[in-house]
Amino acid sequence: MDRNFWPAAAAAAAAALSVLLLTTVAPSSGADSFLEPYDLLYNSGVQAFYSGEYADVVRYMEAALSSQAEVRSTRVRCRLRCQDQHPFDDTFSELRFFDVVLHRAACMNRCIEDKLGAQSLHKVSEDVAQDFHRRIPYNYLQLAYQKLKQPEKAAAAAHTYFQANPEHVEMGPNLEQYRDQQDVQEVHFVDQEARPHQHSFTEAVKLYDVGDYEGAIVLFEEALVEYYTADVECRALCQGPQKFEGHDHVQYRYSLHELISDHFTQVLHCEHECVRDLATRPGRLSTMENYLPLHYDYLQFAYFQVDMLQEALECALTYLLFHKEEEFMTDNVDYYREVLGRDGSPREKADWYLRRHKQEQQLLLAGSEVMGVTYTEGNYWSSTGGRNDTRIPSGTDGWMEYVPISDKRDVSVVVPQKVKEGKSPRWSEWESDWKGGPLLYDGVQLVQTSADLNGTQRVLLDHVISEDECAELRQLAHVVTMGGDGYRGRMSPHTPNEKFEGATVLKTLQYGYEGRVPMKSARLFYHVSERARRIVESYFLLNSTLHFSYTHLVCRTAIIGQQDHRNDLSHPIHADNCLLDPDANECWKEPPAYTYRDYSALLYLNGDFEGGEFIFTEMDAKTVTASVKPRCGRLVGFSSGGENPHGVKAITSGQRCAVALWFTLDPLYRELERLQADEVIQALDTQPVWGHGLSINPKDEL
């Protein structure tokens, strides 16, 4: 075994043995100071909130956050200090091993209790731990500061909470309201829980994107230092108590060596997973793929831009430690060597880090066989989905730019000229001349293609339905739609300045069966949505059937008296099958997003209102790439992923109605109500008179 593993092994063993052996070690003489447990402070803050004592809410919640941070930093500091004070030497013996274990355990117990008091006081429930992980205290704080008329502090708390909960329906509009207040400046929107290594990386990318390569280099280098520091802290936190899943150690009474082995394996797995933890943004399940190698990728090109080729070569070689066969980087290395006339070496820190990671992986695989558990070796450095950005070529004919891919096609092209970032030249050139598949119905007019809409997998069509059909569906909507339908009854789910109403196909057919609306109109809604589905499927030349995922007849109405000085959106910028994260320039395909949705469409029923334009944006959720003015019979269709962030501008006067459609290529996620509606239509077409009733169970949740 590599010597580097002995500190981790000893620390893990110490934590496992502490329960058994600390009774033989003299406890701390007692701490003069006492840190109040953060779960008690948090509970007091919650109680104060529901009692309307908002000053106490602030006092307790701020104290709880401070206490939780102090507990974490103390555990890290003490574990690292005791590890350094009681190291393992080169000479191994069983007595020496347990001597170090005992001294480390005693050292950590004294160190932590001198600062925190009895450690048992700071054990919190899983529910409380999850609340702090999800930043729930900041939600209470923003509401309390709002009540106390301290908008700048409320804005900071709201922003901090929103970073980990971007899907929260009300927080986005709240932040826009804070921005409108005179006392609130942009500097107040600070993530108070930002992880230093991720913050530095994000800021470095911003400088890189605007061509400030010298500034980007400084921040990327800082991000690397902070990353490796965060890794040390993460691994130290792994040395605490572990959950022995599937084992009852009181009943089984494991032998000492079995107990050590079991615990050490779980600690090692926790330390190994720090790679994922450090690459995961708050509130997300998915990691930022290729996160650590990307630092060296960015740096090699930034150093190239400022003519520091030796450093560029060093970073390029470091990147190749993670991706040995990456062709573009191999070409870059050859280029640097040719120009410099000499070779270089990868960075020692990254080399050691990667070797340790691989050795841990081997140990876990071996340990899983011994313990009879399953461990799957993962690819922690996957380059798919990572940064596709500017590179230099091999050769001496000047430099070229690697163009990132933003659509679903597997296209990798290096071209000898600058191309707008975010667009594949091969796909864009093809799309600029491509008019799509057949539109199937007479009179349907292609207005704009993806190229015209400055994106990929987009289309704008007119005359999908007639003026008479629009009028009939609007009249239908006035009767069947209900406030908050699809949003658990929330009348204004996206903005407090508009009323939202909706209805499903099945509910409409039920109204037709009951005689509350003409069955002809209910059937029109059904058939129009099917027409839109067929057009989208045909235009995008899909090779498999496109199924309905959700069908909704919706109207948004401007609330009179609430439109002055309004600058929010009718529907905030989002993507339909992933969680848009503008700061990270990512879209996370994970719950609660509807990850199974593949294509979306909106069929408009009118245009006699003010505002309400449909907009596409870049991933930053700010830069508008295309705007669509609704009108009767107009359809906008697009793929549902992060390549197509979109939203709706504020409706400031009148009512905007449309048929909203989401589709999936996976038949497992077909809309249940649509299948029931199919049966109803089939019964209508084949049986003049039905039985004693119609089995319809409308679903009122999106």
Active site residues per annotation: 656
| Coil vs helix vs strand at 528 | helix
**Six-digit token string for 262:** 């079991």
Distances (CA, A) of 435 to 205, 227, 431, 450, 531: 36, 47, 8, 9, 19
On whether the CB atoms of residues 425 and 419 are closer than 8 A, the answer is yes
SS (H, E, C) 520-583: HHHHHHHHHHHHHHHHHHHHCCCCCCCEEEEEEEEEEEECCCCCCCCCCEEEEEECCCCEEEHH
How crowded is residue 427: how many other Cβ atoms within 10 Å of its Cβ? 21
Residues 6+ apart with CB under 8 A from 477: 501, 503, 553, 554, 555, 605, 657
Angle, CA of 698, 701 and 702, to the nearest 5°: 120
On whether the CB atoms of residues 252 and 345 are closer than 8 A, the answer is no
Write the Ramachandran bin of 621: left for phi over 0, alpha for psi from -120 to 50, otherwise beta. left
DSSP codes joined into one string, 388-433:
------SSSS---EEPP--SSS----EESS---TT--HHHHHHHHH
Residue among 163, 158, 279 at smallest CA distance from 582: 163
Residue among 513, 517, 552 at smallest CA distance from 532: 552
Residue among 446, 379, 431 at smallest CA distance from 636: 446
| Greatest extent of the chain over all pairs of C-alpha atoms, in Å | 92
| Pairing mode, strands 635-639 and 458-462 | antiparallel
Query: How big is the chain by its Cα radius of gyration, in Å?
Result: 30
**Six-digit token string for 354:** 């990667």
| Pairing mode, strands 401-402 and 586-588 | unpaired
The torsion angles phi and psi of 556, rounded to 5 degrees, stand at -120, 130
> How many residues comprise the chain?
702
Inter-axis angle of helices 348-371 and 213-237, to 10 degrees? Answer: 30
How many Å apart are CA 284 and CA 166, to the nearest integer?
Answer: 9
Side chain identity at residue 502, one-letter code: G
Strand partners, 486: 701
Site of tokens 């929103």: 162
Site of tokens 């289309």: 459
How many Å apart are CA 388 and CA 401, to the nearest integer?
Answer: 10
DSSP 487: B
Side chain identity at residue 551, one-letter code: T
How buried is 264 (Cβ within 10 angstroms: 0-12 exposed, 13-18 middle, 19+ buried)?
Answer: buried
HSE on the CB side for 683, CA within 13 Å? Answer: 15
